[in-house]
Chain A
Amino acid sequence: MSAVADPDVVEKEIRIAAPPEVVFPYLIETEKMILWMGMQAELDPRPGGVYWVNVNGRDKASGKYLEVVPPRRVRFTWGWEGESSPLPPGVTTVEITLQPDGEGTLLRLRHTGLPKEVQASHAEGWVHYLARLADAGVGRDPGPDSYAM
């Protein structure tokens, strides 16, 4: 069987020059989460607990932690809040694993379950979000959300 890339999955890998014990808190602690994901966060890192990040002042990533295994793995559901969201909360799942790599960490992220509904029907919605989220995480206000009116 040849390996065919799963179209419903986005995978990322990055090497970090810090051990998993140092990286892991960035996945579960609010003060550290906002340093890479957004402006404001509400996190309850246990199965069923809240995962909520205000990414740029208007767009909020929302989900629930499914699995928390310090300092190796977290899994949480993920989506954007809002009626016109192209990816509503609860539909997709993100898994982040931290593997010791010398003195550092090999971080792997798998974002799974991208539904065909979103893929097939929300192209314009995604373009809209893409434009707005280009500034995400650096605390820049993307301006009024024309969809919110």
Chain B
Amino acid sequence: MLDLKLHAIAQSSRREILWLVREKELTSGEIAGHFDVTRPAVSQHLKVLVQAGLIELRRQGTRRLYRARPNGLEEVRAFLESFWEDRLGQLKQAAEADYGRDVDERSR
């Protein structure tokens, strides 16, 4: 599954499609309207994205609606939370050591 996902997002048009459907459902026609490539080419991209589990397809009558699959959100947040917390902890340490030296010099 990971290989499929990596393959799917390695192509810039497909990343663009993911971006388009990240928050709202769009029909294949609406998606195709954002690109210069042919409708079949867009359909092919959509197929790859669906197979990779990155977007999902819903049929409504004759319309085919696509949107990004809502998962992974918490992992992203958890990652950035811990990344910035660690970094800021180091910043605090460095700046306080720095300031400590300043104060020492001034009080001498």
Convert B59-87 into 0s and 1s, putting 1 for each residue whose CB lies closer than 8 angstroms to a CB of A. 00000000011111101111111111111
**A116 cross-chain contacts in B, Cβ below 8 A:** 22-23, 68, 70, 73
> How far apart sit A3 and B52, CA to CA, in the bound complex (Å)?
35
A130 at the interface (CB under 8 A from B): yes
Q: Among the listed A120, A125, A136, which residue makes an inter-chain contact with B73, where contact means beta carbons less than 8 Å apart?
A: A120
Interface of B is mostly: helix
Q: Among the listed A18, A37, A114, A120, which residue makes an inter-chain contact with B71, where contact means beta carbons less than 8 Å apart?
A: A120
Closest to A110 in B: B84
**B77 cross-chain contacts in A, Cβ below 8 A:** 7, 10, 114
Does A123 contact B71, Cβ atoms closer than 8 Å? yes
> How far apart sit A19 and B103, CA to CA, in the bound complex (Å)?
12
Interface residues on A, range: 35 or more
Does A120 contact B79, Cβ atoms closer than 8 Å? no
Does B73 contact A119, Cβ atoms closer than 8 Å? yes
> How far apart sit A21 and B88, CA to CA, in the bound complex (Å)?
17
> How far apart sit A147 and B22, CA to CA, in the bound complex (Å)?
24
Does A109 contact B94, Cβ atoms closer than 8 Å? no
B37 at the interface (CB under 8 A from A): no
> How far apart sit A115 and B56, CA to CA, in the bound complex (Å)?
17
Q: Among the listed A14, A111, A120, which residue makes an inter-chain contact with B92, where contact means beta carbons less than 8 Å apart?
A: A14
Interface of A is mostly: mixed
A16 at the interface (CB under 8 A from B): yes
Closest to A91 in B: B19
Known: A16-B91, A117-B19, A137-B86. A10 touches B71 (CB 8 A): no
Convert A103-140 into 0s and 1s, putting 1 for each residue whose CB lies closer than 8 angstroms to a CB of B. 00101010100111111111111110110010011000
- 14 extra A-B contacts, CB within 8 A, seeds A121-B69, A137-B87: A18-B96, A26-B91, A36-B94, A105-B95, A107-B91, A114-B76, A117-B22, A117-B68, A119-B76, A120-B68, A121-B72, A122-B76, A124-B2, A136-B86
26 pairs, A vs B, C-beta closer than 8 Å: A12-B85, A16-B92, A17-B96, A18-B95, A23-B95, A35-B90, A36-B90, A111-B84, A114-B80, A115-B19, A116-B23, A120-B18, A120-B68, A120-B72, A121-B54, A123-B71, A123-B72, A124-B5, A125-B6, A126-B76, A127-B75, A130-B75, A130-B79, A136-B83, A136-B86, A137-B87
The 6 closest A-B pairs by CB, nearest first: A116-B22, A18-B99, A123-B72, A120-B68, A36-B90, A36-B91
